[in-house]
């Protein structure tokens, strides 16, 4: 079968392309913006990319068009598909019907940390020899690809693995299907990591998102498992109804008696894992921040549901290498370290900065953090979260914000931290200001959910000069 994917360079749709290619289909696709790591991954898979959405692409005559949620009415190729009455389907529905059917799906949902948590979970299952398939909105360093079909476990060469790990997004499915993506996946094991207001372009308020999460919980079978944070918003979701086994994780005292908890955290980030107050082992790794510790215990709980004992999951986490664009070091010049991170919501910005600050403090380094921010998500562009930005940047010594293409004034939003912040509408001027202010020992943390005009390499080049 030949499938043509509209919006192929999004992390989700790019993963669909990889899975379809592995399944033996001919895969082509198009998108308006093409940038690494997805573009390079697709090229490595031998998938033909077309820039733009020209209606002439119907001449490729594919068997079906798979439509990403970046595509809306008015898109010239989509309009031509509709005019000709050609067959089309959403990415989540195609995935559900062609890959997930009959699989034991482990879904990771939440406002923050889905990509990292899904990567951890897939790696734990891989380490335990279960050879899972996965589709993740990033590239886990342990695998080098964002998606793959289930493999054949070494201990059972006669059949492929039944397990599939998926990053379960609450964003809408497509312009013709406004349900959240994750309602298509029908998981047997579901992690509810955290829940905050986001996606202001499609949700009116937090209650609207909680309703979608409740819809996800309704799809988990009675013999399935919901692993939920003890956060208030998720407790409200569970209170609407849960018909499956339920395990909580969190940092509060009640988790000691009935749930999963982090305990005995040391200065190097190592910690014990407790289940119902009983020690399961000690995680020793290089990841930063409380958010990643919560991710870890959620994964240990979910893996236990498919038969991975906690001590094996804990061993696996010790060899977890994180995900591209999650505190990824892009280079070091003149003892100045440049990082790339996907953080774009104020909570993610705050936790990422706090994790880096804790790491530097633990290493007894009196180092400056220079935060470089591009608020480009739909929610940030609408200005819904702008009031929360100054507080989220409190751990940064200097802040550089790229304010182009916003519907609000970034300098005005950051006025309360004007003593340490700079805003620019010109990318080259932003880079030069960063280079002019940087000094030996600094850590430059770049945060954006897009390509940011290749700013990481521009900064490294400017530092060299």
Q: What is the pLDDT of residue 384?
A: 73
Kind plus residue range of the DSSP H or E element containing 172: strand 172-174
Residue 140: inside a domain: yes
CA 278 – CA 256 distance, rounded (Å): 8
Which residues sit opposite 446 in a β-bridge? 340, 372
Q: What is the pLDDT of residue 118?
A: 96
Q: For residues 157 and 229, state if they share a domain.
A: yes
Task: Give the DSSP per-residue string, 218-241.
Answer: HTS-TTSEEEEE--HHHHHHHHT-
Residue 278: inside a domain: yes
Q: What is the pLDDT of residue 37?
A: 64
Residue 284: inside a domain: yes
Instruction: Please choose, from the candidates 249, 279, 282, the residue with its C-alpha nearest in 3D space to the C-alpha of residue 268.
Output: 282
Residue 322: inside a domain: no
Which range has the top average pLDDT, 72-81, 193-202, 353-362?
72-81
Q: What is the pLDDT of residue 444?
A: 93
Q: For residues 278 and 379, state if they share a domain.
A: no
Least confident of 44-53, 252-261, 419-428: 252-261
What is the CATH number for 55? 3.40.50.720
Q: Write down which residue in 41, 56, 90 finishes a domain.
A: 90
Q: What is the mean pLDDT of residues 406-415?
A: 83
Does 383 have pLDDT greater than 80? no
Count of beta carbons in the 10 Å neighbourhood of residue 156: 12
Q: For residues 366 and 420, state if they share a domain.
A: yes
Residue position matching structure tokens 């509408």: 425
Residue 323: inside a domain: no
3-class secondary structure, 411: helix
Q: For residues 70 and 121, state if they share a domain.
A: no
Q: What is the pLDDT of residue 95?
A: 97
Q: For residues 75 and 118, state if they share a domain.
A: no
Digit-coded pLDDT (tens) for 217-226: 999 999 999 9
CA 308 – CA 120 distance, rounded (Å): 13
CA 136 – CA 118 distance, rounded (Å): 7
Does 381 have pLDDT greater than 80? no
Are the C-beta atoms of 338 and 456 separated by less than 8 Å?
Answer: yes
**Across the chain, what does the average pLDDT equal?**
89
Lookup: tokens for 449: 């959910």
Q: For residues 367 and 441, state if they share a domain.
A: yes
Q: For residues 168 and 308, state if they share a domain.
A: yes
For residue 179, give every residue at least 6 positions away whose Cβ sits within 8 Å of its Cβ, in sequence order, or none. 172, 173, 212, 215
Q: For residues 298 and 412, state if they share a domain.
A: no
Largest CA distance in the chain: 65
Cα dihedral 123, 298, 216, 204 sign:
negative
Q: What is the mean pLDDT of residues 270-299?
A: 91
Instruction: Please choose, from the candidates 353, 243, 372, 244, the residue with its C-alpha nearest in 3D space to the C-alpha of residue 302.
Output: 244
Number of domains in the chain: 3
Beta strands at 172-174 and 443-447: parallel, antiparallel or unpaired? unpaired
Q: What is the mean pLDDT of residues 402-407?
A: 82
What is the CATH number for 152? 3.40.1190.10
Instruction: Please choose, from the candidates 7, 30, 5, the residue with its C-alpha nearest in 3D space to the C-alpha of residue 17.
Output: 5
Q: Write down which residue in 59, 90, 121 finishes a domain.
A: 90
Residue 181: inside a domain: yes
Does 252 have pLDDT greater than 70? no
Q: What is the pLDDT of residue 199?
A: 65
Q: For residues 306 and 436, state if they share a domain.
A: no
Does 283 have pLDDT greater than 90? yes
Beta strands at 278-283 and 271-275: parallel, antiparallel or unpaired? antiparallel
CA 414 – CA 390 distance, rounded (Å): 6
Q: For residues 219 and 134, state if they share a domain.
A: yes
Count of beta carbons in the 10 Å neighbourhood of residue 114: 25
Digit-coded pLDDT (tens) for 228-248: 998 878 889 999 999 999 999
Environment class of residue 259 by beta-carbon count within 10 Å: exposed (0-12), middle (13-18) or buried (19+)?
buried
What is the CATH number for 340? 3.90.190.20
Q: What is the pLDDT of residue 409?
A: 84
Q: Write down which residue in 90, 123, 145 finishes a domain.
A: 90
Q: What is the pLDDT of residue 155?
A: 73
Q: What's the whole-model pTM score?
A: 0.79
Q: For residues 293 and 402, state if they share a domain.
A: no
Of the chain, the percentage scoring pLDDT greater than 90 comes to 57
Q: What is the pLDDT of residue 256?
A: 55
Q: For residues 46 and 132, state if they share a domain.
A: no
Residue 96: inside a domain: no
Question: Using alpha carbons only, how large is the chain's radius of gyration in Å?
Answer: 22
Does 253 have pLDDT greater than 60? no
Q: What is the mean pLDDT of residues 80-94?
A: 98
CA 461 – CA 96 distance, rounded (Å): 44
Q: Which domain holds residue 55?
A: 2-90
Residue 58: inside a domain: yes
Instruction: Please choose, from the candidates 282, 347, 271, 328, the residue with its C-alpha nearest in 3D space to the C-alpha of residue 119.
Output: 328
């Amino acid at each position: 079968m030949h499938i043509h994917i509209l919006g192929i360079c999004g992390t989700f749709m790019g993963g669909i392309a990889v899975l379809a290619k592995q399944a033996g289909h001919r895969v082509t696709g198009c998108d308006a913006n093409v940038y690494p790591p997805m573009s390079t991954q697709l090229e490595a898979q031998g998938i033909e990319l077309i820039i733009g959405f020209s209606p002439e692409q119907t001449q490729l005559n594919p068997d079906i068009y798979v439509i990403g949620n970046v595509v809306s009415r008015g898109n010239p190729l989509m309009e031509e598909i509709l005019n000709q009455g050609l067959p089309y389907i959403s990415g989540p529905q195609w995935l559900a019907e062609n890959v997930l059917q009959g699989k034991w799906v482990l879904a990771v949902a939440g406002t923050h940390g889905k990509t990292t948590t899904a990567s951890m979970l897939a790696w734990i299952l891989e380490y335990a020899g279960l050879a899972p398939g996965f589709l993740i909105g990033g590239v886990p360093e342990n695998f080098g690809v964002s998606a793959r079909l289930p493999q054949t476990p070494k201990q059972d060469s006669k059949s492929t693995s039944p397990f599939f790990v998926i990053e379960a997004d609450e964003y809408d499915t497509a312009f013709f299907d406004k349900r959240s993506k994750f309602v298509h996946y029908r998981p047997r094991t579901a992690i509810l990591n955290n829940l905050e207001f986001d996606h202001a372009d499609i949700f009116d308020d937090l209650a609207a998102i909680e309703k979608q999460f409740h819809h996800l919980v309704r799809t988990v079978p009675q013999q399935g498992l919901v692993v939920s944070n003890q956060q208030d918003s998720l407790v409200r979701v569970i209170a609407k109804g849960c018909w499956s086994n339920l395990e909580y994780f969190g940092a509060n005292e009640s988790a000691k008696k009935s749930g999963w908890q982090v305990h005995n955290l040391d200065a190097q980030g190592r910690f014990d894992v407790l289940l119902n107050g009983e020690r399961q082992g000690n995680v020793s790794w290089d990841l930063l921040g409380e958010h990643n510790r919560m991710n870890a215990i959620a994964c240990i709980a979910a893996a236990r549901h498919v038969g991975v004992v906690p001590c094996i999951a804990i061993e696996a986490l010790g060899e977890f290498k994180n995900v591209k664009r999650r505190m990824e070091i892009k280079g070091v010049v003149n003892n100045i370290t440049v990082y790339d991170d996907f953080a774009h919501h104020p909570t993610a910005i705050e936790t990422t900065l706090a994790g880096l600050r804790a790491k530097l403090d633990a290493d007894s380094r009196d180092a400056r953090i220079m935060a470089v921010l591009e608020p480009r998500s739909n929610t940030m562009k609408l200005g819904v979260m702008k009031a929360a930005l100054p507080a989220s940047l409190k751990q940064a010594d200097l802040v550089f914000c790229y304010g182009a293409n916003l519907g609000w004034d970034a300098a005005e939003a950051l006025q309360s931290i004007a003593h340490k912040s700079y805003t620019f509408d010109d990318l080259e001027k932003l880079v030069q200001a960063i280079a002019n202010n940087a000094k030996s020992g600094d850590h430059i943390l770049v945060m954006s959910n897009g390509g940011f005009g290749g700013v990481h390499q521009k900064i490294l080049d400017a530092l060299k000069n």
